[in-house]
Chains A and B, each alone.
Chain A
Amino acid sequence: MARPFTPKIVTANALLEGDVIYLSASDTWVRALSDAALFDTQEVAEERLAFAAKDGFAVGAYLVDAVAGENGPEPTHFREDFRRTGPSNHNHGKQAEL
């Protein structure tokens, strides 16, 4: 039996600032994971990734697993949890800016 599909988001880093960005439902880049679009099928996710990868202002776009939460997508892996938050040793990055 095939493994159930885990929804995906498209994420990258911004060219100028270098910070974490996410593709929104309106095809713009947003700074908060909660504003990201969650894609429910592999085909749509890959199609949106291909679209995002063409944007020169987004670096290293990739797909990552996420699940729907009360306030938008939530990460399923700690790496993405750190990426949406910032480092744990200083109050820098998204936790300080958003």
Chain B
Amino acid sequence: MYSYNDFDEAFVRERVSQFSGQVARRIDGSLTEEEFRPLRLMNGLYLQLHAYMLRVAIPYGTLNPDQMDQLAMIAEKFDKGYGHFTTRQNIQYNWPKLPDVPAILEALADVEMHAIQTSGNTIRNVTADHFAGAAADESFDPRPVAELIRQWSTDHPEFQFLPRKFKVAVTGASHDRAVVRAHDIGIVLKEQNGVKGAEVIVGGGLGRTPMVGKTLSDFVPFADLLPYIEATVSVWNLLGRRDNKYKARIKITVHENGLDDIRARVEERFAQIKPTFGGVDMDMLAQIEQFFVSPIFVDKPMESYTRAYENDPVFRAWADTNLAAHKNADYAIVTVSLKKPGTTPGDASADQMRSLAQLARDYAHDELRISHEQNVILPHVHKSNLPALHAVLKANDLATANAGLISDIIACPGMDYCALATARSIPVAQGIATRFEELKLEQDIGELKIKISGCINACGHHHVGHIGILGLDRAGVENYQITLGGDGTETTVIGDRTGPGFAYDEIIPAIERLVYAYLDLRLDAEETFLATYRRLGMPPFKEALYPVKEDKADAA
């Protein structure tokens, strides 16, 4: 993985030093909150409901074991012994105290990490396929391009005061695991006539006005990619609406001006700025690529895996759900679920982080990933090591066999932490996962993605959940709207709203009715919830959600 050069190191240290001075001046009263707020947001420090929250970037979700150990150390020394992994491949600490934040940032810098541009109207942490460099269906490793964009966007002078935040995601696989069509810019790496390049998608996003991204260019060769992206952000920076923050994202700019108009403007801007790049971007990309060579895969017998798979039903159940196909057939990609029923989606204790770091050292070529689905990925595990790895996961409460199943729920922090939230998300996720564990139906239900947001900003990606849940405040009471049929993959669809929302104590029974309806309606066990919904549409699910009360039926 990428390792800081002298420039990166100096930049991050200088920022820590600047922010330390700013914190000191805020505490001694030289800076007002009004003056301090934009400075702390530039460095990922929010003030939430109960405490400050520090959001630390995990660029394209990639971590090495030393970084994971340091995240554990910070959790223990400066927080309450845990961290929360988010849908944007960040980690959030929910309880830092302001005077400690400079020391936390210094500790992050010690392992080449930071919290820069994890907030504010800037280009945010670049996300990528969490199976990058490992997936069997991958044509290109997205990480070098993601790293190039990270370097280019960090402190980019033109893009520090954008109309609104700006999110970029990159994938290089046929199956989209990075939700690229729900980003301001989504990049799909591909090859055309022997030339490497990318499809550039623009104007996707969830939030108040969800939109699926549109193809701005079907193919931009690598040599043009960075100037093309810069041209796109540049066009939006001038054209984007600053009069209304709800209309400021690029999706609205594309919608209001039309894709063809935006494309023409981008091409015009591209022609202006392309000559100024002078090839330095390609030189840097070539340098960066050297950091992302594949590990040296070993060739060794697989009996231990076969034996465990045949004889240990717990291992087998875990292997069947939590392993994904690796490009090397002797290897597997391991999803470590942070979704044990009853726990908070995405939370990991310091001990769990340390055990994951050690597992990466022992069995996974020193690599870890954080997925936007709030799980931890060990991308390169030889199958012979899986039984030993599984035993360690079990001992650390990390062996939940539910990747992609109904209890593998995405949930934003909601009103348990977030100042913007309108309702809680976490207890709803906990309640659904616990209920379906009791019912012992999870394996039978099969693939089902539930995503929960505690406000319309949609950090929990509810619009692209097969079942999406949105928590709102309706006349001073928590109320939950359901959407169905959302999809965050290469066939991205925004889910359809079912109708009136449900009270806090009604939402879990409502989900249960939906799932029982699906089990009755599906053609066979192979037909997923999403496929069944696509075949039948809303009516039968709506009927299950809103049963006609008998007294009403009589009256009619």
Comparing B7-15, B43-51, B261-269, B441-449, the segment that makes contact with chain A is B43-51
**Interface mask (A60-90 → B, CB under 8 Å = 1, otherwise 0):** 1000000000000000111100110011111
CB atoms of B427 and A88 under 8 A apart: yes
CB atoms of B52 and A18 under 8 A apart: yes
CB atoms of B27 and A93 under 8 A apart: no
- The one of B98, B424, B476 that contacts A77, using a Cβ cutoff of 8 Å: B476
Q: A78-B476, A82-B415, A87-B416 are in contact. Are A16 and B99 (CB under 8 A)?
A: yes
- The one of B29, B99, B416, B478 that contacts A56, using a Cβ cutoff of 8 Å: B29
Question: What DSSP secondary structure best describes chain A's contact surface?
Answer: loop
CB atoms of A90 and B427 under 8 A apart: no
Residue of A nearest to B424 (CB): A88
- The one of A59, A76, A87 that contacts B47, using a Cβ cutoff of 8 Å: A59
CB atoms of A16 and B95 under 8 A apart: no
Number of interface residues of B (CB under 8 A): 32
A47 within 8 A of B: no
B33 within 8 A of A: yes
CB atoms of B51 and A18 under 8 A apart: yes
B26 within 8 A of A: yes
Q: How far is the CB of A39 from chain B (nearest CB, A)?
A: 20
CB atoms of A94 and B50 under 8 A apart: yes
Cβ contacts under 8 Å, A92 to chain B:
50, 80, 94-95
CB atoms of B426 and A13 under 8 A apart: no
Cβ contacts under 8 Å, B430 to chain A:
89
Q: How far is the CB of B527 from chain A (nearest CB, A)?
A: 34
A43 within 8 A of B: no
Cβ contacts under 8 Å, B33 to chain A:
15, 56, 59-60
Q: How far is the CB of B333 from chain A (nearest CB, A)?
A: 29
CB atoms of B476 and A16 under 8 A apart: no
Cβ contacts under 8 Å, A15 to chain B:
26-27, 33, 98
CB atoms of B49 and A20 under 8 A apart: yes
Q: Which of A13, A86, A87, A90 has the most CB of B within 10 A?
A: A87
B344 within 8 A of A: yes
- The one of A16, A86, A88, A93 that contacts B98, using a Cβ cutoff of 8 Å: A16
- The one of B32, B50, B52, B478 that contacts A87, using a Cβ cutoff of 8 Å: B50
CB atoms of B416 and A16 under 8 A apart: no
Q: Which of A77, A87, A89, A94 has the most CB of B within 10 A?
A: A89
- The one of B47, B49, B80, B344 that contacts A82, using a Cβ cutoff of 8 Å: B49
Residue of A nearest to B504 (CB): A78
Residue of B nearest to A59 (CB): B33
Complexed CA–CA distance, A78 and B33 (Å): 27
CB atoms of A76 and B476 under 8 A apart: yes
**Interface mask (B398-430 → A, CB under 8 Å = 1, otherwise 0):** 000000000000000001110000001011001
A19 within 8 A of B: yes
Q: A56-B33, A93-B51 are in contact. Are A17 and B97 (CB under 8 A)?
A: yes
CB atoms of A86 and B50 under 8 A apart: yes
Complexed CA–CA distance, A19 and B98 (Å): 11
Cβ contacts under 8 Å, A60 to chain B:
33, 47
Cβ contacts under 8 Å, B48 to chain A:
18
Q: How far is the CB of A43 from chain B (nearest CB, A)?
A: 25
CB atoms of A87 and B417 under 8 A apart: yes
Q: A18-B98, A82-B416, A87-B417 are in contact. Are A13 and B47 (CB under 8 A)?
A: yes
CB atoms of A79 and B415 under 8 A apart: yes
Complexed CA–CA distance, A16 and B99 (Å): 6
B477 within 8 A of A: yes
Q: A60-B33, A93-B51 are in contact. Are A16 and B424 (CB under 8 A)?
A: no
Q: A78-B477, A88-B416, A89-B344 are in contact. Are A83 and B50 (CB under 8 A)?
A: yes
Residue of A nearest to B53 (CB): A18
Q: How far is the CB of A86 from chain B (nearest CB, A)?
A: 6
Contacts A15-B26, A89-B430, A90-B80 known; 13 new A-B pairs at CB < 8 A:
A13-B51, A15-B27, A16-B99, A17-B97, A18-B52, A78-B415, A78-B478, A82-B424, A83-B50, A87-B426, A89-B426, A92-B80, A94-B50
Report 7 cross-chain contacts, Cβ distance below 8 Å, ordered by A residue: A17-B97, A18-B47, A18-B52, A78-B473, A87-B426, A89-B427, A90-B80
